[in-house]
Structures are given as C-alpha cells and as structure tokens.
C-alpha cells in the first residue's frame, strides 16, 4: 500500500495543540497592536503592566510568523484591536520577561484608531 502525503501550502499553523505550547491556554481581555521592532504583534492584557508577544514559538525568531486567527485584521498601522483573546503560552511567565503566546481565538472585537 502506498500512502502519499501532500503538504497544504499556505495553511495556518495551529495554536491550541501546537507541540511548542508549554501550558494550558487561557483567556485575556486585551488590546492587540502592531509592533515596530522585532515583535510584530503585541497583546496587552487590560489592567496589567504586562505585554505578551504573539509568535509561532518560544524564540524571537518565531515572531516573523505569528499564529493568530483570520478574523483579526489591521487596516492600518495605527489601529488597536480590543477584545477577548484565547492565548496559548510558548514560554513560562517570568517577572521582567515577555511571555510568548499564540492566539487561538478572538471575540467581541472593537477596532480603534
């Protein structure tokens, strides 16, 4: 029996169930913005002094291809998207260090300029 596997090009990598995820996924109410440096997407959980980096893995090199749902769209660089986000962690939470996450889902979205 011959089994062929055909890769699906352009398929979005998964967040929940990703082998790089190190802990349980959790929900945050936050603000998603575009970054201007090595981190392309920032997620600020409202009411905290923390920033989450949206990536596809545990290192800064993974920031080039963040995992996030297709219903999140920026029309310009100066927008912020507020909403409820389900995130999955790639790195442990440590004081003074940014936690790397992917976004599994987003709901109740409001775009502000």
Cβ atoms of residues 62 and 55 within 8 Å: yes
Q: With a cut of 80, say whether residue 4 has pLDDT above it.
A: no
Q: With a cut of 80, say whether residue 7 has pLDDT above it.
A: no
User: What is the per-residue pLDDT for 13?
Assistant: 78
Give the separation between CA 110 and CA 56, rounded to whole angstroms. 24
Among 5, 8, 62, 67, residue whose Cα is nearest residue 39 = 62
- DSSP output for 44-83: EETTSS--EEE-SSSSGGGGGS----TT---SSTT-EEEE
User: What is the per-residue pLDDT for 77?
Assistant: 74
What fold, for 26-112?
A: OB fold (Dihydrolipoamide Acetyltransferase, E2P) (2.40.50)
User: What is the per-residue pLDDT for 11?
Assistant: 58
User: What is the per-residue pLDDT for 37?
Assistant: 77
Q: With a cut of 70, say whether residue 12 has pLDDT above it.
A: no
Q: What is the pLDDT of residues 45-101, one digit of tens each?
A: 999 999 999 999 999 899 999 999 988 988 877 899 999 999 999 999 999 999 999
Q: Where are the domains of the chain?
A: 26-112
């Amino acid at each position: 029996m011959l089994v062929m596997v055909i890769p699906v090009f352009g398929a979005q990598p998964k967040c929940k169930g990703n082998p790089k995820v190190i802990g349980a996924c959790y929900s945050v109410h936050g603000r998603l913005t575009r970054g201007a440096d090595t981190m392309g997407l920032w997620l600020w959980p409202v009411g905290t002094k923390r920033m989450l980096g949206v990536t596809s893995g545990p290192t800064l090199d993974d920031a080039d291809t963040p995992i996030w749902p297709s219903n999140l769209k920026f029309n310009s660089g100066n927008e912020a998207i507020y909403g409820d986000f389900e995130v999955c962690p790639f790195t442990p939470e440590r004081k003074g260090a940014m936690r790397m996450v992917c976004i599994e889902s987003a709901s109740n979205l409001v775009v502000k300029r």
